[in-house]
Structure 1
Amino acid sequence: MRLRSLLAAASAACLLTAFAAPAVAGGGRGEDPRPGGTGLTRADRAQLQRYAKDTWKSFDAMTDKTTGLPADNIEGDLDTASRSGYTSPTNIGAYLWSTVVAEELDLISSREAKTRLKQTLTTVAGMERHEASGMYYNWYDEATGAKLTTFPGGDPVDPFLSSVDNGWFAAALMVVKASEPSLAPHAEAILAGMDFGAFYDLDQFGGERPGMVFGGFWADPPAGTACPGTLADGTEVQFTCHHYDILNSEPRIVTYIGIARGQIPAEAYFATSRTFPASCDWSWLETRPVGEMQNYLGIDVFEGAFPYRGMNIVPTWGGTMFEELMPDLFVPEATWGPKSWGVNHPLAVRAQIEHGMDQAGYGYWGFSPASDPFANYREYGVDEIGMNPEGYYSDNEKTNVDKGYDGCREATNPLPGAPEPTFGDGVVTAHAGFLALPYAPREAMDNLAGIKNTLQAYGPGGFYDSVAVRSNTQAQRYLSLDQGIVMGVLGNVLGKDMLKTAFSTGAVEATVRPLIAMEEFGSGYADGREVNP
């Protein structure tokens, strides 16, 4: 495949059963947590190859044979009649990069990969998009490519242009462009029309400091709340009334791409917060951050972190693995930022492991938005390393941890001197465990083996989307996004960082790497130990 040359050149059914949790270690296994050292045995790699083979089957079943568009989800038996009837730019992007990975791992031939990619790009090129921005709407019919104004169930859709969804789609186009030269013109033709500056709020602070990225906009007034505005060419749109205002969340992929393509100023990387400042003005947070002010490119940045079990961690919004590590599938953040992401990513993984194994005692770990085993879809996370005061919880019971805001607000749960809360039916998702592979390979392999072999939360398309571990209630469903995360991790782990190489060379490295390299987060072990000694 072309990518091999590039690398060489670069060097909802439920299963209810009783079970006993496996003995999955919480640490001390001697693995190398750094991206450059996989810490995997030959048997591990063979097992990961089998996981990839099964995961790819779900994409084959989800994808319409005429349009080359994947459904958003499919039931666990891979019956094509159970396709969701809708898809999104993120889903399409996940299928594109997963196809590149499938070829690299010899799951499909080069000819089949090229045919699949060309079919999808051809369909996408003909799909309706917002003319002024060149961006794609959030929902389409995967069988026709038509923009949806009504979901298959009859609920109305206000056509929306999501910044982060278009970001993941653009990331996939950049991967295709680098890894399949014969299709590079097709991918670039689509990319060339996408202006990420349309999502950037240049005047957010009256020009006194860089602005942030909107959640997105509607071309026409929606049924709900919106904030009217105009694009650079004067086109009137209806923006979301919020910006993505913290760095450690998945929308940073939009900033990376916008900077690399010259559509968002480099300074925007430092416009978002690591945490909000440590003052009583922010006491609605469940934890008071520690840290100090630094200045980068003339911008004051509070290098805040949340204390958690002897670690100081730059939090995500919801304490999820997806927010922390999905951008790291494409941008070698830990390598480019050894004093920022290179410290925080391993600690965030460690926090997820310790929460699942020690604090909550689930016997498993890996918390991220996924199918809800008891309903449809829900955000799951480690509450104490998330900024959301309402919490992304790790269990079905939504057990909250609020230790108060020191000097400003008393704790609510647990109360001072009280024991830790008792956690209920913890919900883990395999894609979160896969994301941890570069940073805790032995523990990730053991965790995944327990989910597969003990819980048996595994079907013909690989790991089911989530499982509540105490009751073993399974969400027997596959989601394009989550399966794409699994394929992306496996491409990097088994294919020598193939997605990172394809995405991050050229303009991305030239513009983004210097920004990441200059920063030092406030994260680390509280006792001063090195994260990667």
Structure 2
Amino acid sequence: MRKVRILSLMLAFALLANLISAPSFAAGQDSKRASGFNKELKTVAKKTYKYFTDYTDPDTGLTYDEVRTTDKGTEEAKRTSPTNIAMYMMSTVSAQQMGLISKKEAVSRLQTTIGTLEKLDKWNGLFYNWYNTDDGSLKKDWGQFISQVDNGWLSAGLIVVGQAYPELHGQTSKMVDNMNYTTLYDPEVGQFRGGYDVAKGALTDHHYGMFYTEPRVGSYIAIGKGDVPQEHWWKMYRTMPAEYDWQSQIPQGKVVNYDGVEVFEGSYIYKGKKFVPSWGGSMFEALMPGIVINEKELGAKALGLNNKRHVQLQIEYAKEKGYPAWGFSPSATPTGYSEFAATPLGTSGYKDSSTVTAHATFLALEYAPEAAQKNIKALQKLKMAGKYGFYDSVNVETGELAKAYLALDQGMIMVSIANYLQDGVIRDYFHKDPIGKKPEGLLKKEVFSIQ
């Protein structure tokens, strides 16, 4: 009997050991999968950054706007914008943080770019929208426009570089200080104009009134600099007012008072989920600002929550349409460039046109990593993988590829991967600067009506 009891106890211990070790094995498998995905992302980043090393002018440090493969060969668009410059600078910081290049190379590259930026023609410290990459001269045949959103991104890039490399901080901070955003601000409305046409000597008729779009980066920075008052943050529309019956939905919500300003905290609904819309319903309107602003953590009840909701709803929209992949955002087409979106997520939504773009998936990494991993595989099946990471877009119904690489989209991919693999490193640099830190309270206090 004693022997039977001992055998029974041994069997019980063995079963217990299996029960204890089974979760560890599963955890090990999950860790292995995560490690494999991380390696895959780093490989994508290496290929993506090669675009910047191959197509950035070595003398000026300015990156080509676009490179396209055609039947006739390679077409190189040797022009650049403030946003493209910012994407190159932040991609270089990202590449160094991921161990793809040395600090010495990163600083050398950025010194070249910053040296050029100091010499470029400006208006009230703000940069024109298009320059030639070979000598930094104005691309006058594309107009003489000063864009609020593009300058906002360049300011963000300069702030990140200045915090990442103290030896460059003096130059970068001086340029940011000189970028005078008051010149584009309309104090009567409490919103920014879209920009200023230097040739015409006139501000644009339109304002950047929608809050949940990519110009909010410029708004955040202008507040952080002290160029515009804090109330500007509350003067933008979360949704258009309910009486604006031309919008795609009549929003539901309530009026909330923030810092003495009444804000209509409205929302739309899709697939039973509430959300605050962007203008067009595209991924980069929703998530691009989050590559520098810590919306996910600081705006957990507002912007961060809404970012996650937009990822979920983009995925659900693709399922509803029966598409094999998701990720709708403005991107290259086989013959040019167009705006694409998950239409229901916009105030006046862009069409999806069965077209998805790679950068949308990478922007979503931190909100839905497993879904992003699956979607990357789906994009690879659609033959989007290319020499410089991913081609810019594919029509998921016809399989037609836009065999183009855009500096803007490559940059979003690079920075998104760095933030995912390095615990928000680019955002941390941005918020380390007083300009990035000062408006943090605005992110924390707001509560969207989408709980």
Per the normalisation by structure 1, the TM-score is 0.77
Partner in structure 2 of residue 465 of structure 1: 392
CA deviation vs aligned residue, 1:283-305 (integer Å, no higher than 9, x gap): 11121111111111111111111
CA deviation vs aligned residue, 1:141-192 (integer Å, no higher than 9, x gap): 0111001112xxxxxx320000000010110000000001111112122222
Q: Give the superposition deviation at 1:377.
A: 0.4
Within 5 Å, which residues of 2 pair with 1:486-525?
486-508=413-435, 510-524=437-451
User: Which protein has the bigger strand share?
Assistant: 2
**Partner Cα separation in structure 2 for residue 58 and residue 359 of structure 1:** 35
Within 5 Å, which residues of 2 pair with 1:87-102?
87-102=80-95
Does the CA-based 8 Å contact 1:319-1:392 persist in structure 2? Answer: yes
Q: Among 184, 189, 192, which residue is 1:213 paired with?
A: 192
Q: Among 321, 328, 341, which residue is 1:360 paired with?
A: 321
Please tell me whether residue 161 in structure 1 is matched to residue 121 in structure 2.
no
Please tell me whether residue 146 in structure 1 is matched to residue 131 in structure 2.
no
**Partner Cα separation in structure 2 for residue 304 and residue 122 of structure 1:** 45
**Partner Cα separation in structure 1 for residue 377 and residue 69 of structure 2:** 19
Q: Give the superposition deviation at 1:80.
A: 10
Does the CA-based 8 Å contact 1:304-1:314 persist in structure 2? Answer: yes
**Partner Cα separation in structure 2 for residue 100 and residue 367 of structure 1:** 27
Partner in structure 1 of residue 160 of structure 2: 175
**Partner Cα separation in structure 1 for residue 191 and residue 423 of structure 2:** 33
Q: Among 350, 356, 361, which residue is 1:428 paired with?
A: 356
Does the CA-based 8 Å contact 1:61-1:80 persist in structure 2? Answer: no
Q: Among 299, 304, 307, which residue is 1:342 paired with?
A: 304
**Partner Cα separation in structure 1 for residue 32 and residue 350 of structure 2:** 31
Runs of 4+ in structure 1 deviating by more than 3 angstroms, as ranges, are: none
Within 5 Å, which residues of 2 pair with 1:9-408?
41-76=34-69, 82-130=75-123, 133-150=124-141, 157-204=142-189, 211-221=190-200, 237-279=201-243, 282-356=244-318, 358-373=319-334, 375-388=335-348, 391-395=349-353
Q: Secondary structure at the match of 2:401?
A: strand
**Partner Cα separation in structure 2 for residue 85 and residue 56 of structure 1:** 18
Between the two structures, name the one with larger relative contact order (CA 8 Å, sep ≥ 6): 1
Match for 2:121: what amino acid? E
**Partner Cα separation in structure 2 for residue 503 and residue 39 of structure 1:** 32
Unmatched 5+ stretches in structure 2: 1-30
Q: Give the superposition deviation at 1:445.
A: 0.8
User: Which protein has the bigger helix share?
Assistant: 2
**Partner Cα separation in structure 2 for residue 175 and residue 39 of structure 1:** 32
Q: 1:470 to 1:380 in 2, by over 3 A?
A: same
Does the CA-based 8 Å contact 1:40-1:442 persist in structure 2? Answer: no
**Partner Cα separation in structure 1 for residue 126 and residue 439 of structure 2:** 22
Match for 2:321: what amino acid? A
Partner in structure 2 of residue 12 of structure 1: none
* Equivalent residues, number: 420
Match for 1:58: what amino acid? Y
- Taking only aligned residues, the RMSD between alpha carbons, in angstroms, comes to 1.7
Q: 1:294 to 1:70 in 2, by over 3 A?
A: same
% identity of equivalent residues? 37
Q: 1:484 to 1:266 in 2, by over 3 A?
A: same
Match for 1:84: what amino acid? A
**Partner Cα separation in structure 2 for residue 63 and residue 144 of structure 1:** 12
Q: 1:188 to 1:345 in 2, by over 3 A?
A: same
Q: Among 377, 382, 390, which residue is 1:449 paired with?
A: 377
Match for 2:105: what amino acid? E
**Partner Cα separation in structure 2 for residue 80 and residue 254 of structure 1:** 38
Q: 1:80 to 1:490 in 2, by over 3 A?
A: farther
Does the CA-based 8 Å contact 2:221-2:436 persist in structure 1? Answer: no
Match for 1:191: what amino acid? V
Per the normalisation by structure 2, the TM-score is 0.90
